[in-house]
A and B are shown apart, each in its own frame.
Chain A
Amino acid sequence: MNKQEKESYLREYALMKQEGKPFFPYAVAKDGAMAAVVMLSIILMSLFLGAELGPKADPTTTTYTPRPEWYFFFLFELLKVIKPAELVQLATIGVPTICMILLFLLPFYDRSPERRPERRPIATTAGIFTICAMGYLTYLGAHAGPPTQIDMETPPALVAQGGEKLEQFEAGKQVVTQSGCAACHKFGENGNDGPGPDLTDIAARLPEQAIARTLINPTAPMPSFQNLQEEEPEKFDAMVMYLSQLKGE
């Protein structure tokens, strides 16, 4: 905007303002009505949806599903869209930070004097695209339930062997499903593909010790299972044993 455009805007605006009405009571009445609607909707949501308290926080537990508040779903889903491990930083911090900086600096790179949305095709398209993308990611996040079932076949060799090994395998499978691993990892047909890597054939890629190490000292944002290992080592060992049998289908 050059000086002439600035002055012409200010002149036009002053005229519009002259033709307008005083803030009190005209705008205040609308604001008040809207405030009443907001208050009423908060009260109704509180009455009908309540404020349920889940079970008490327990650092040693294995039955949890880390789920953020719904308006953070789009950030969480971003982790699943951007897959490769070397790009995780980009998804977790990079993209949101870049978006925030772009948002902050918006008036400084969009300097045209035009204000009508239909005459600012780039800005309007970008705005609608952002809204759609956020809406779509939120929708995905809302529907990506934490599956608590894994339908992968037990390796036939293990079934033939039977006995203690098979029992440990089943116990490990139970720990893995209860721990909500499938919220972030894929197991054959089950589970969410990301943010974490596919675990269908994890044993083909990692030896047993490496799996145990990763569980205790994982790559962020995965939570550590160190507490489980210290408190209930047999459950932890079962988990490691189960994962070390996943060689793909």
Chain B
Amino acid sequence: MPKLKLPAPPIPLPKPLPKRPGAPRQTPVETATEAGISAVDWVDERTSLSGAARWMMFRKVPRGTNWFYTLGSSTMFAFLSQAVTGVFLAMYYRPDAAGGAYESIRYINNEVFLGEFVHGMHKWGSSVMVILIFLHMARTFFFGAYKYPRELNWGIGVALLILTMAMSFTGYLLPFDQRSYWATIVGVNINGTGPLVGPYLSDFLRAGPEFGATTLSRFYAIHMLLIPGIMAALIGAHLYLVAKLGTTAPPWLKPSDPVKKEEKA
């Protein structure tokens, strides 16, 4: 059996030498810097997070990385914006099909400070996120970035695309106005025409054979608990793989010839 080699235990850093007598006193800025450093040190000593942060932030991105490579991070940014605005909307929203839902949205729009603004950000943010996720996928597709060794990350991305569409489908019902109500009925009916699982899926979505009082709270739970949780986890995995495997270089660039480089120098 091969011997397992454990990493050597860390050697504690030598204590800083005491100040020479008569050295000038520390300025407040120096004191603050030192306090900050020692606080970070304290956390790092207990978590070793600095390694992970360095690994994430100071990895190299290949030559030729251009603006197309910002589409993924901006999709994530749109997701974060949806999460934050969604939390504020959830503070006022009531998933009550008997009229409370519609009233609470009206209250948000008309009474709450900046209510309609946040509601609008959430509503239009979903469109922005859908556009960005499709652009990000198009970039990945045309640059051949889904190929070895990034196949798994492509799969996670497709799952995230489907979940994003599911988010917007479940969110569309929540204002509970005429448009959202009838569009969702047709949407659920469309699900019901599917072979095999179709009828079960639409029964699950409606919480029964009829569109009833619990349908709305079911959509609400799926929209703000189930799918966002899965999405956050998948985004984490997606990011981990991006950092581990690295972002692709633009496909038309080749590494410059080391011989030529030496000649130039």
Contacts and interface: CB of A to CB of B under 8 A. Distances in A.
A113 B149 CA distance: 11
Given A19-B256, A93-B193, A120-B144, A46 B128 contact: no
Interface residues of A, number: 83
B181 A26 contact: no
B189 A31 contact: no
Contacts of A71: 127, 130-131, 165, 168
A122 interface: no
A221 B192 CA distance: 8
A36 B149 CA distance: 31
Interface string A19-58: 1111110111011011101110111011101110111111
Interface residues of B, number: 91
Contacts of A56: 99, 102, 176-178
B113 interface: no
A35 B187 CA distance: 32
B189 A42 contact: no
Interface stretch (B20-28, B30-38, B55-63, B224-232): B55-63
Contacts of B71: 34
Interface stretch (A104-112, A148-156, A163-171, A206-214): A104-112
Contacts of B208: none
B194 A89 contact: yes
A139 interface: no
Contacts, number: 257
Given A26-B65, A68-B172, 16 more contacts: A20-B60, A20-B61, A46-B124, A53-B109, A56-B102, A64-B182, A65-B179, A66-B183, A67-B179, A71-B130, A71-B165, A107-B154, A111-B147, A116-B252, A220-B189, A221-B186
Interface of A: 1, 6, 9-10, 12-13, 15-24, 26-28, 30-31, 33-35, 37-39, 41-43, 45-47, 49-51, 53-59, 61, 63-72, 79, 88-89, 92-94, 97, 100, 103-104, 106-108, 110-111, 113-117, 120, 123-124, 127, 131, 220-223
25 contacts: A13-B62, A13-B248, A17-B62, A19-B62, A19-B63, A19-B255, A21-B61, A22-B61, A30-B69, A38-B81, A50-B120, A53-B177, A58-B178, A63-B178, A72-B168, A92-B193, A92-B194, A93-B191, A108-B151, A113-B147, A113-B148, A115-B143, A123-B141, A220-B192, A221-B193
